[in-house]
Amino acid sequence: MGFCVLCLKSSGRSDFCPSCEKDWASLHWNGMGQLPQRSDPILSSYAYRGVCRSSILAFKSKGFRRAGSALVRRVLGQEDLSELVRQCQIIMPAPSSLWSRWHGGLDLAVFLADNLSAEYDRPVQAPPFSLGFRWRKQALRSRSQRRRVFSQRQKLYDASYFRQLVPAHQRSEPLQVLIVDDVVTTGHTLAGLADVFEAVNFKFYTLASALRLSENVGRFGSERPIEKDSSC
């Protein structure tokens, strides 16, 4: 007999109780959007609301490691994600904010990257540490201030940052790197990380999407864009 990783009610052999499990059905997103000012598509598995948002915050803010494990187990077997990982040679987690580090929160992007690495036998490369300070992702900064950080598209790194992880016989091929994150809100962090590299092809995956409606009208095909959740 197990207990739900969120509400602690009896869940049988599942990670979530029947009530929380029912909420997941309305959150399946599986949408391919586009990053701001880039043509690259980004795959997200769920909408960032309800039980998904609660699970992510439980892991990151409250230290509920079981919630993070349950989240990752839910996505590892997804067909679209499997295909995306197999197209890439290396996995890179998006950098956590300094605000999150200061509060001692758990890094879900790193946890996700490590589990994808173990599942699909792909090496993990940490993001450049110095960019954590350059981006200034603290929650106390306004959105307009964060955007100005990304306004300078300087190529600071190239494919050599990853080459030591690639077998010698594959180093002449175009380098494919998957950037993973827990939640995408504006997409500027992922786009900013990709834009400081040259001679690298990036693909993008996030557990959940909170992309704002105004930035995604007409970009999700027949899917209905997610409206902004004022509680995010």
| pLDDT value for 227 | 39
User: Which has the higher per-residue pLDDT, 73 or 28?
Assistant: 73
| pLDDT value for 11 | 67
Q: Do residues 3 and 15 lie in contact, with contact meaning Cβ atoms separated by under 8 Å? A: no
**pLDDT, average across residues 89-116:** 79
**pLDDT, average across residues 74-88:** 91
Q: Report helix, strand and coil shares of the chain as percent, to nearest 5.
A: 40, 20, 40
| pLDDT value for 101 | 54
For residue 136, list its beta bridge partners.
none
Calculate the average pLDDT of the chain. 76
**pLDDT, average across residues 221-225:** 35
User: Which has the higher per-residue pLDDT, 96 or 215?
Assistant: 96
User: Which has the higher per-residue pLDDT, 48 or 144?
Assistant: 48
User: Which has the higher per-residue pLDDT, 134 or 32?
Assistant: 32
Give residue 212's pLDDT band: very low, low, confident or very high (50, 70, 90): low
User: Which has the higher per-residue pLDDT, 151 or 66?
Assistant: 66
Instruction: Tell how strand 157-158 and strand 176-184 pair up.
Output: unpaired
User: What is d(CA 157, CA 165) in angstroms, rounded to the nearest whole number?
Assistant: 16
| pLDDT value for 74 | 87
